[in-house]
Structure 1
């Protein structure tokens, strides 16, 4: 159920910010370990998430809302799923290039649609499912990296480490969306942006404790490098906070599957950042994949709105 039209611009902005943040984080991952690169988005995101919430309350004063007892649980569950998803995505980058790694993770649209139906009872019209099909076809074409493949070659490629980690990343990103949507539903306010910012400010410190505690236990020496990378890592935290605020607003106001389908526009921004920021070559197959993704988004919107 769509409760506010704000979800659409919030999702489009979230896609752009996530592509930008992921491109910067990709560079951080060249100098930090897997868990160190994952931690920076939460650790350096804390001051920005708190600032966003405080700024919103100053500009739009609202009484503090009542919250259900299970909100903390869903924040923790969604936050842990996002940590796992991010680590898997960074791993996919190390196997393949930036665009291909992101493309595999974007299978979260169809995974999110199935999981939100099973866990939340959210339904989509047939045209939206057709849109999902176009989107998945587009991201799969992007994942080939311009290589010509037969059916068996493509199926074998799905068993490669980059594909396995990327698709698994999409699964956990879908679980993240479901956890955050359930958390925002437990915040009783008629202002979805306020609910989203509250959940964000609760979730990010929990994620910092979870992944930071793991890093201190398993890789204590890495913590020093995390702090010494503050110039670039601060950018990751800032972009992550803004992007998550937009994603959380989308999840608070529209079905998970619809937000994730439209969120596939991230691949367009990903291609741009991969080409101009990371100097990766753009192929004709990637342009064709982008057209399929765009078609899927349009069909999904036409079916759901």
Structure 2
């Protein structure tokens, strides 16, 4: 089940990133970030209601640990999304998404040191291969002209996404009930917090961005729908399996990303770009195989 949920999440995330990349050409970082959440809340609420109708369960008890993990995950995901939009502005879509996928490698490292996950020698080999791939993707001219700024931005983005995933799993584990219900409750609260924070910020600081999103309803809606379905996949998978395994398997997204970039966005993907993305996929396989 966790493998199926991961494949669903990776496919929808590739499309969400593509839609965000397109929107980022006309809307600032805060607006593109909000587009991910603004219509996702109602979808998440309907999904949770449907689960309880299909399989009635008692309402969960939300502990202090739950709220710590949920608020932390909400904050990190906002930060990560903003950093990823900046990556899209610095590189083309495929490269920005590839750099953001350092998340899986960071999650493996943080999981080992702070969350009790164990990796074999083969798993660490995957981490190293993935690190090389991230550096390759960060340079337009290969390693000879490596962009330190882009590498740091990519690693910061991946780290924020990794913390989001790790805290989402921890929040889910504090609840009782079927994994689908636990994941849905975490998703609803995370999206709700993010939406309220971002809307409040834009009302206070940048109302014109809200207007810009209102003027692009189809693209904004597409981002929210793809994001919510992707999050359902991620949150459900992470309720069943440790984050490093989910996120490394989720590297299948790089192939969806390449297809979307080439066929829909008409981005030119160079040979070294393909090599970097393939290396990330190899790293994922190594970590999973371990």
**TM bracket, shorter-chain basis:** over 0.9
State the 1:235 CA deviation. Answer: 0.9
Q: Give TM-score, length-normalised by structure 2.
A: 0.93
State the 1:57 CA deviation. Answer: 2.1
Tell me, in whole angstroms, the C-alpha distance in 1 between the residues paired with 2:52 and 2:136: 44
Aligned equivalent of 1:260? 247
Q: 2:33 aligns with which of 18, 33, 38?
A: 38
State the 1:125 CA deviation. Answer: 2.2
Q: 1:174 and 2:162 equivalent?
A: yes
Could you tell me which runs of 5 or more consecutive residues in structure 1 were left unpaired when the two chains were aligned: 1-5
Query: What does 1:40-119 correspond to in 2, within 5 Å?
Result: 40-119=35-114
Q: Give TM-score, length-normalised by structure 1.
A: 0.89
Tell me, in whole angstroms, the C-alpha distance in 2 between the residues paired with 1:32 and 1:174: 26
Tell me, in whole angstroms, the C-alpha distance in 1 between the residues paired with 2:143 and 2:117: 36
State the 1:30 CA deviation. Answer: 1.7
CA contact (8 A) 1:103 1:140 kept: no
Aligned CA-pair RMSD = 1.7
Tell me, in whole angstroms, the C-alpha distance in 2 between the residues paired with 1:115 and 1:58: 37
Moved more, 14-23 or 131-140: 131-140
CA contact (8 A) 1:79 1:206 kept: yes
Query: What does 1:1-305 correspond to in 2, within 5 Å?
Result: 6-145=1-140, 147-150=141-144, 153-154=145-146, 157=147, 159-160=148-149, 162-189=150-177, 191-303=178-290
Tell me, in whole angstroms, the C-alpha distance in 2 between the residues paired with 1:123 and 1:267: 25
Could you tell me which runs of 5 or more consecutive residues in structure 2 were left unpaired when the two chains were aligned: none
